Chains A and B, each alone.
Chain A
Amino acid sequence: MSTTRQRFDFGRYNFILVPFIAGGLALLVGAVIIWLLGANPIEAYIGMVQGALGSPNAIADSLVKAGPLLFVGVGICIAYRGGVINIGGEGQIVIGALATTLVVLTLSGLPSLILIPLALAAGFVGGGFWGGIAGFLKARFKVNEVLSTIMLNAIAVQLMTFLLNGALMDPTSLDNSIRIPQTQRFPLWTDLPRLIPTRLHAGILLGVLIAVLAYILLWHTTIGYRIRAVGFNTVASKYAGINVGRYQILAITLSGALAGLGGAVEVMGVNHRLFTDGSATGFTGNAGFNGIVVALFGALHPLGVIPASFLFGALLTGANTLQRTVQVPGAFVTTLDGLVVIFVVASQIWARRRATRHAMPELPPQDKIVPASTT
């Protein structure tokens, strides 16, 4: 890469160092908050580590929690590389899960070998559709996708609550007139296979596979190259003959589709039914937002998202022990997530400074950007 620089290039490792330093700072501020709340931060963090990794069951739970973060996070990478900021993970998970639920409940007679892939595909399509709306609005009407995806989140959750309180409500709960906003339990043959005798299911393997595929798509195909080109320089891409709007829609649609797939995996692998806890996020537990945290922590690279999602899955699982060990509510983790985002994004100024020194590397010859003057 850089041949002119003589001294050791710390910048080359920025993409690993920056998130970790930023994460460390976030943990430090988190420790101060715990301390101010009158608890012992060291005790709290040790408790979290034990809660997350202390037993095979705990590790399995951490991996299960990592699942949706992985799917959403990889999706965020694709959108971000295409120059689109997808804040709509929440809504896309919900719509994906809703589509999966509809397929499972209406086609429950099919054998699992057909039904499971079909239901997963429904989640993919559902989430993609929801993301695609924001992409279309951006490309066609120049509607800021940050704002439209936030609105679509709220609409999706309300649509889900509406259906769960009516058409999709568990018939037995209707009979007993308890009216819990949840569907009936899915047929047993739609459960994703368990890997070992814990809650760990095969969805996590699918997530890893998806991350690898996303990496291949982005860095080893023409489509991926164009998505990145659009994200890197819209104007230059336009002059190079790339249909910018189309690739932006594609990027956020794929992003939404992966979030939707994450929702599908969550209902088929963990809950085996669609339900809402009545909160603003429904059943997602903020995964749509936490996926952004994970993507940032994984340096916005699909392969980086794999370890990052495991880390944050562990964090979420560990948080459940906070209340028990040091009487700090689990809401602490949301605060910590916020701090991680703030520190990681804020520290990217150093990573960016390096990027501008090195300009854009590795342009495949067949797609060289044509200067404006020659067209």
Chain B
Amino acid sequence: MLEQLFAPAVIIGILASGIQLATPYLYAAVGEMFSQISGVLNLGVEGVMLMGAFIAYYAVLRTDNLLLGLALAALTGALMGLMTAVISVTLKAEQGISGIGIYLFGLGLSDLLFLVLVGTPKAIVGFPELDLPVLSGLPALGPILFSQNILVYFAFACVPLAWFILNKTTLGLKVRAVGQTPEAADSLGISVARVRYIAVIVAGTMAGIAGASLSIGLLNIFQQNLTSGLGFIAVALVYFGGWRPFRVMLGALLFSMVNALQLWIQTLGIALPSDIAGMLPYILTIIALIFAARQIVTQPTALTKPFERGE
């Protein structure tokens, strides 16, 4: 049985689905990274993703317009990001708990809207695979890397973009400053609140897109709790990646590959109970968190700490 896993076609299949499955993690985790670096632990990602996933799905179901679905998901995410920012930055709420509130809100509302507006799951036509010219013809690499849908390419493009913004632009510098030493940033005339608002809204927008990448890019369906914990793993990935874009990407790939492997094991009918295989990503996350905690030096010092002037 197990030797089936090592057939070339299967290996290519696993790697291709691994790349594809990394997409929602990447959008969510790269966005979350901005929020965390600015000092806000945005734990509501899962709820925002669910709302983004539903809105995108519903828009496509009604209009067949994929770009409209994507745009509405991003807008929904941005609005929920704004809500998170009001709660965490202006009202200085406990971020671990308020995030759970946003999660429950998104979980309930997406389910509610789905039941009222759609009822039973109906499949839609999502983003098609886009074969890049020449590259997709490459043996092995072609089907793995260059025959994905456009959301997958964009997800990977976000990583260097995030690196550039964080390290080479004034905005990135400000984001890091308010997360590291908000007092100093404040005394230099940077509005801590404004920068954190921007970062948290970016995180929300990306989480909305992450949800859309699931419902209209990967699965082409919506159902209750579609994300099933993916958003929470994305939050953990940011810790795992030590708040660095490329490491976060490696983490996302690691997880999506484990997931893909697990799915293929089930597809091939190899005798490993699906529940046990399903635990793997979570156990891996905990182990990853243990290692991530060792590099605690890189953690934004003001993470989860609301900024209070003159404290």
Contacts and interface: CB of A to CB of B under 8 A. Distances in A.
B71 to A, nearest CB: 21
B112 A335 contact: yes
Given A158-B279, A166-B273, A280-B225, A147 B293 contact: no
Interface stretch (A194-202, A209-217, A337-345): A337-345
A148 interface: yes
B87 A137 contact: no
Contact of B102 (A151, A342, A348): A342
A115 to B, nearest CB: 29
B293 A158 contact: no
B228 interface: yes
Interface of A is mostly: helix
A268 to B, nearest CB: 24
Interface in A130-168: 137, 141-144, 146-148, 150-152, 154-155, 158-159, 161-162, 165-166
Contacts of B104: 286, 289, 293, 334-335, 337-338, 341
A274 to B, nearest CB: 15
B109 A33 contact: yes
Given A162-B273, A338-B108, A151 B282 contact: yes
Interface string B272-285: 01011011001101
B112 A147 contact: no
B94 interface: yes
Nearest to A39: B116
Interface stretch (A58-66, A234-242, A250-258, A325-333): A325-333
Contacts of A155: 279, 282-283
Nearest to B227: A280
Interface in B81-123: 83, 86-87, 91-94, 96-98, 100-109, 111-112, 115-116
B93 A349 contact: yes
A85 B96 CA distance: 7
B286 A143 contact: yes
Interface of A: 33, 37, 85, 87, 137, 141-144, 146-148, 150-152, 154-155, 158-159, 161-162, 165-166, 279-280, 286, 289, 292-293, 296, 328-329, 331-342, 345-349, 352
